[in-house]
Amino acid sequence: MSRSVLVTGGNRGIGLAVARRLSAGGDRVAVTYRSGPRPAGLYSVACDVADPHAVDGAFDEVEAAHGPVEVVVASAGVTRDKLVVRMDEQDFTSVIDTNLTGTYRVVRRAARHLMGTGRGRVVIISSTAALSGVSGQVNYAASKAGLIGLARSLARELAPRGVTVNVVAPGLTDTAMSAALSPRQRDRIVGQVPLGRMAEPDEVAAAVEFLASPAASYITGAIVPVDGGMGMGH
Ligand code: NDP
């Protein structure tokens, strides 16, 4: 079964690993890119999720190329880490606007068609930061915690139509986002991970692939940690 899939932030990092997996499984996958590269072999559409018109335009383009979107994976995200005393309003609102409001824009645009499919899938990438909090990430952790409330509310709204909505909460994962941390910061986080290392993007993608699959038809509103055990007990 080939489905029309849209992965936001699918041009690199975790989103790209998800796109590659779903594409290898036979889906018609489109990825968004904003500033970064367009990956070879995948259908790419320009989209800044902070711009509502760009989100609508990207969906129009993907629908014309692949048909209405049946699987949405929201992976676009940014950090702007600062201690709260130095975090100005723009640092806070810009992260919320991309990570949380951006995801709202995407799922809102997708929802009408998803409801008609009877088997649609939404997978949202949150973070362990949503549950544990992280010093220097008041903005990011708030956005990622907000995604859990968004996902669970959406899960209830779409459940009567057979659409599932789930959250994947990765721990530290080896991408450009984690590369921005200092080696000391990375070592400190990895020191708290029972499995003793970062995740590979494909390990996060494997959980997303499962939640997006027909096999996960009775799972909705779940938070699936992919964190090497770091969040155990939260
Ligand atoms: P990367 O920095 O490697 O990739 C971020 C992706 O988000 C890029 O594709 C980027 O597009 C896209 N993006 C950022 N802002 C926008 C925007 N306004 N509109 C559209 N796309 C945008 O990060 P990761 O792959 O690591 O992160 C993916 C998701 O996983 C994020 O939501 C992140 O918060 C989450 N996460 C990551 C963890 C980690 O340790 N890496 C841990 C837990 C969660 P472009 O290239 O065009 O800029």
Average pLDDT in the 56-65 region?
A: 98
Say if 231 falls within a structural domain: no
> Any residues with CB less than 8 A from the CB of 55 and at least 6 apart, and which?
47, 49, 102, 105, 106, 109
Say if 233 falls within a structural domain: no
Atom number, ligand 1, closest to the C-alpha of residue 204? 30
Say if 17 falls within a structural domain: yes
Quick check: 114 and 163 in contact, CB under 8 A? yes
Say if 232 falls within a structural domain: no
169-220 pLDDT, tens digit per residue, is 999 999 999 999 999 999 999 999 999 999 999 999 999 999 999 999 999 9
- Residue 95 — very low, low, confident or very high, per pLDDT cuts 50/70/90? very high
69-85 pLDDT, tens digit per residue, is 999 999 999 999 999 99
Which residue shows structure tokens 């992260």? 95
Atom number, ligand 1, closest to the C-alpha of residue 174? 41
**Cα separations in angstroms, 220 against 10, 22, 47, 70, 231:** 23, 19, 27, 16, 20
The DSSP element (H or E) to which 108 belongs, if any, is: helix 102-117
Return the active site residues.
140
Q: Residue 58: helix, strand or coil by DSSP?
A: helix
Say if 43 falls within a structural domain: yes
Is the pLDDT at 67 greater than 90? The verdict is yes
Say if 229 falls within a structural domain: no
Tokens representing residue 59 in the block: 């969906």
Q: Residue 185: helix, strand or coil by DSSP?
A: helix
Is the pLDDT at 23 greater than 80? The verdict is yes
Structurally, how many domains does the chain consist of?
Answer: 1
Q: What is the pTM of this model?
A: 0.98
Say if 188 falls within a structural domain: yes
Atom number, ligand 1, closest to the C-alpha of residue 34? 47
How many A from CA of 17 to the centre of ligand 1? 12
Residue with CA closest to ligand 1 atom 33 = 77
Tell me 127's DSSP state.
-
Domain that holds residue 141: 4-224
Provide the mean pLDDT of the chain: 96
Q: Comparing C-alpha atoms, which of 7, 91, 124, 108 is closest to residue 52?
A: 108
pLDDT score at 37: 87
Residue with CA closest to ligand 1 atom 47 = 34
Quick check: 210 and 156 in contact, CB under 8 A? no
Atom number, ligand 1, closest to the C-alpha of residue 172? 40
Say if 234 falls within a structural domain: no
How many A from CA of 82 to the centre of ligand 1? 18
CATH number, domain with residue 24: 3.40.50.720
**Cα separations in angstroms, 58 against 130, 151, 194:** 28, 22, 40
Residue with CA closest to ligand 1 atom 13 = 76
How many A from CA of 160 to the centre of ligand 1? 31
Quick check: 170 and 206 in contact, CB under 8 A? no
**Cα separations in angstroms, 50 against 60, 93, 98, 105:** 17, 11, 5, 8
Residue with CA closest to ligand 1 atom 3 = 13
Is the pLDDT at 234 greater than 80? The verdict is no
131-145 pLDDT, tens digit per residue, is 999 999 999 999 999
How many A from CA of 37 to the centre of ligand 1? 13
